[in-house]
Amino acid sequence: MQDLRMYRSEQGWGWLSSPPVTHSKCNRYRQSLFSPVDQGLLPLAQDGWGLSARDGPGRTRSLSRDILRALLLCSPLHCWRAGPWVSKMARWLPRSADLTRFCQKLNRVKTLEDDMMETSFNRCLSTIDLTLLGIGGMVGSGLYVLTGTVAKEIAGPAVIVSFIIAGFASLLAALCYAEFGARVPKTGSAYMFTYVSVGEIWAFLIGWNVLLEYMIGGAAVARAWSGYLDSIFNHKIKNFTETHIGTWQVPFLAHYPDFLAAGILLVATAFISFGAKVSSWLNHVFSAISMGVILFILIMGFILAQPKNWSAQEGGFAPYGLSGIMAGTATCFYAFVGFDVIAASSEEARNPQRAVPRAIAFSLGLATGAYILVSMVLTLMVPWHTLNPDSALADAFYRRGYSWAGFLVAAGSICAMNTVLLSNLFSLPRIVYAMAEDGLFFQVFSRVHPRTQVPVIGIVVFGVLMALLALIFDLEALVQFLSIGTLLAYTFVAASIIVLRFQQQKVDVPAQPAGRQPSPEPSDGPAAGELKEYESFSDKLQLVDGDKSKEQREPGQLKAAFEPYLEFLSDFYPGEVVTVAVVTLMVSAICLCSILVFGNTHLHLPTWSYSLLLVLFSLGFLLSLLLIWAHEQQRNTQTFQIPLVPLSPALSIVLNIYLMLKLNYMTWLRFAIWLMLGLLVYFGYGIWHSKENLREPKPQRVSARYVVFPSGSLEETVQAVQPSPQPAVGLPDADTEESKR
């Protein structure tokens, strides 16, 4: 028996045994090692056999394991039965096909039905309904609490600039949601957008984090609502509870049970379960009251404004400087979290292609204007350093002698918080429904009530869970946890926009590599000036003629202007280079932001290395961006498309990553624990019950032969022989035959 040896051809590295192995078991194994069930390519010839390392995507990475298996099973030690341990070692090594299929399962994308307007929900929401939902999700406790906190402790009157920058950063993320919401009018928001473009496991993790974000966010707003109402009645509710029920001295638990917060959540859950129309009507009422109070604040605030409060005697307009403005921007960014409720409601919109982008733009514009103007009148009414962070607006009117106005503002803040509660309870069950409908979460949550046309089970279950969180937990330590889940969702949606924009349109015919065209029928050998294509079970084995045809450019292909300089990139399938460039862009952004955040404070880098790393990672980011831009992208005038792609999503990715890295380590630790729990749910349930499993063709064991390298390179001679007529009958497995013996 001869040894296996490596060879290198024009197509890459392979391996060869010559003369052929004569031992029966080794012959059987060499025929089944890269059999079609493994979706590989088995080239056979009279003088030897081998496998090209470039027969399909992902083969090079897993080739070494198959070589090691073959070396063990076809080695003299095994064939001469020198010891049973060789067989055991070979059996425990994973086949390349097993790893390939596993990775394909993790990264499979959702197949959308032809008619995406068909749904079990009631499409009853107009542009105004969606706009008010978005305003209700954004203009809530942030306007009445966050504004005073940032103005006094972080930025001073320059909180106005912080809100402007934060609004622009939120606009970049909102535009990505607007395009996806118009193109994919299905409930699920960031989860659905990631599923149709990036992959299943990433979509599940995004949905898993958004689920917790809504639960904690709703519970936190309920406790803030309860505290604000209690302050109006001079804390009588708190004192009564502590006197008659008692207090708790347990870490992570609240000081006392907040029955008022739990009660308002249960009441809101009942209203949400009545249907989207009832929820929308209730949101209209509270939003109208809230906007009326905001208009009153602006009118009275400008009447009572004193420009001297921005003077140098009071510290000036920006007492904390540029660093305070940027720190305030990071905090103000979270005031705009909530516009994704519009994307989550797209399956209930009458005309999502038009309503979703308009509602996102209108709601974000109105919310940004409200935050900027309210911050302006607040810091003009009273000196910024005397603000009460807990109830800045109401306290400002109290201090100016308008107690009735302060009471009216407090009532308006309660109505605004009600809209946030409704937005959270409206979105959460729909995210869970989308995951359950795809089979990634428990199927019971995919049931829609036939009369109300809403997922009642999900609404009730998660409404009760949210009420329990608000009742017993101290959520102050978990509030920052909301930020990381939201920012991660924004990042993946922005990356998904780039990937989807540079992919080919969904068609029945598989996409062909750039610069390649299939021949009508295969023949026994290539002719001069003719292109030949032969099917393999990995994907396609194609031979390329030197003459490039002038076919119409498709999305994901290299632009014609760059072909003379980047000709080697035309050998890849459309979209492959862009996908790799997006990954490189995100890695460069992470490294760049890490140097900016930790370079001087934690890493203590010297100046020269700090500057060098900044330049290197900035170049990596820019080169990845230029490489993406060098490819063709989809042009669709039927639905809304975000302008300046890939620049706009790339800027959103950088801003989101920077803000994530500004969070403390405890937030990242809690985030990692929650991700581990999510992975347990996915690998224990989701991956097995995913509906994409039903769409995957089951592998069949068939026999195939490919004659390769009889005289030279692969491009000189290729002959494909048709598979066996009985696909269920395959080559015998080496381990099975050994057990029979």
Q: Does position 373 have pLDDT exceeding 90, yes or no?
A: yes
- Contacts of residue 21, defined as CB under 8 A and 6 or more positions apart, other chains included, come to 1, 2, 27, 30, 74
In angstroms, the CA 453 to CA 221 distance is 27
Both 151 and 16 in one domain: the answer is no
Could you give the CA distance from residue 41 to residue 33 in angstroms, rounded to a whole number?
9
Interstrand relation of 719-720 and 533-534 (parallel, antiparallel or unpaired) = unpaired
Spatial distance between the Cα atoms of 210 and 192, rounded to a whole number of angstroms? 12
Task: Indicate if the pLDDT at residue 165 is higher than 50.
Answer: yes
CB-based contact 719:536 (threshold 8 Å): no
Per-residue pLDDT, 97: 63
100 and 166 share one domain: no
Do the Cβ atoms of 219 and 469 come closer than 8 Å? yes
Q: Which residues contact 114 (CB under 8 A, 6 or more apart)?
A: none
Count: domains in the chain: 2
- Over residues 399-419, the pLDDT tens digits come to 888 888 888 888 888 888 899
Give me the helices (H) in 636-701, please.
647-661, 665-681, 687-689, 692-695
120 occurs within a structural domain: no
Closest CA to 448 of 211, 122, 112, 111: 122
Evaluate if residue 640 carries a pLDDT over 50: yes
Averaged over 682-707, what is the pLDDT? 71
pLDDT band at 94 (very low <50, low <70, confident <90, very high): low
Check whether residue 671 and residue 725 sit in a common domain. Answer: no
Count the Cβ atoms, other than its own, within 10 Å of residue 350: 14
pLDDT score of 490: 92
The answer on 145 and 60 residing in a single domain is: no
Decide the pairing of beta strands 43-45 and 4-9: unpaired
Residues 668/418, Cβ–Cβ less than 8 Å: no
Beta bridge partners of 45: 48
CA dist 331 and 323 (Å) reads 13
pLDDT value at 679 more than 90:
yes
Q: What is the DSSP letter of 313?
A: G
Do residue 684 and residue 713 come from a single domain?
Answer: no
Mark whether 300 and 362 lie in a shared domain: yes
**Res 25: pLDDT:** 39
HSE value, Cβ hemisphere, 13 Å, CA-based, for 44: 18
Question: What is the reported pLDDT for 34?
Answer: 37
Q: What angle do CA 493, 131, 280 make, to 5 degrees?
A: 110
Read off the pLDDT band of 331 (50, 70, 90).
Answer: confident
Same domain, 72 and 197: no
pLDDT for residue 394: 86
pLDDT score, position 475: 66
* Strands 541-542, 533-534: pairing kind: antiparallel
Q: Tell me how far apart the alpha carbons of residues 103 and 106 are, in angstroms, rounded to a whole number.
A: 5
Query: Predicted confidence band at 549 (pLDDT cuts at 50, 70, 90)?
Result: very low
The helix (H) or strand (E) run that includes residue 594 is: helix 576-598
pLDDT of residue 159: 92
Query: Do 213 and 285 share a structural domain?
Result: yes
Q: Which one, of 211, 187, 200, 201, lies nearest residue 119 by Cα?
A: 187
Helix, strand or coil for residue 315?
coil
pLDDT surpassing 70 at residue 45: no
**Same domain, yes or no: 213 and 170:** yes
Within-domain flag for 513: no
Q: Is residue 119 part of a domain?
A: no
Classify residue 396: in a domain, yes or no. yes
pLDDT at res. 317 = 87
Mean pLDDT of the chain: 76
pLDDT tens, 417-427? 899 899 889 99
Percent of the chain with pLDDT over 70: 73
What is the CATH classification number for the domain harbouring 230? 1.20.1740.10
The answer to whether residues 488 and 290 touch, using CB atoms and an 8 Å cutoff, is: no
* Structure token digits, residue 365: 């514009």
Residue 61 pLDDT > 60: no
Model confidence at 295: pLDDT above 50: yes
State pLDDT tens for residues 228-287: 888 778 888 888 888 888 788 777 777 888 899 999 999 999 999 998 888 889 989 999
Tens of pLDDT, residue by residue over 445-495, are 999 988 888 999 999 999 999 999 989 887 665 666 677 888 899 999 999
> So what's the pLDDT on residue 624?
95
Reference 680, options 257, 284, 320, 204; nearest CA is 204
Based on the fold, state whether residues 155 and 32 are members of the same structural domain.
no
Calculate mean pLDDT across residues 132-138: 90
Q: What is the model's pLDDT at position 718?
A: 40
pLDDT at 540 over 70: no
Q: What is the pLDDT of residues 643-665, one digit of tens each?
A: 889 999 999 999 999 988 888 78
Give yes or no for residue 50 having a pLDDT over 70: no
Look at 381 and 333; give whichever has higher pLDDT: 381
Q: 631 — phi, psi (to 5°)?
A: -110, 155
Question: What does residue 632 show for φ and ψ, rounded to 5 degrees?
Answer: -70, 150
Partner residues linked to 15 by β-bridges: 6
**CB–CB of 78/72 below 8 Å?**
yes
Reduce the DSSP state of residue 512 to 3 states and report it: coil
Q: Name 414's Cβ contacts closer than 8 Å, sequence gap at least 6.
A: 225, 228, 229
pLDDT band at 586; cut points 50, 70, 90: very high
15 and 145: one domain? no
Q: Please state, as a whole number, how many other Cβ atoms lie within 10 Å of the Cβ of residue 643.
A: 9
pLDDT digits (tens, 9 = 90+) for 103-121: 888 889 888 777 777 888 8
Query: Are 44 and 161 part of one and the same domain?
Result: no
Q: Using CA atoms, how far apart are residues 29 and 731, in angstroms rounded to an integer? A: 9
Residue 509, C-beta contacts closer than 8 angstroms, at least 6 positions apart: none
**In the prediction, which pLDDT does 357 show?**
93
Residue 699: band (very low, low, confident or very high) from pLDDT cuts 50, 70, 90: low
The domain containing residue 730 runs over which residues?
A: 4-108+706-740
Coil, strand, or helix at residue 88?
helix
706 pLDDT higher than 70 = no
What average pLDDT does this structure show over 7-24?
42
Residues in the chain: 741
pTM assigned to the model: 0.74
pLDDT given at position 617: 95
DSSP 3-state of 432: helix
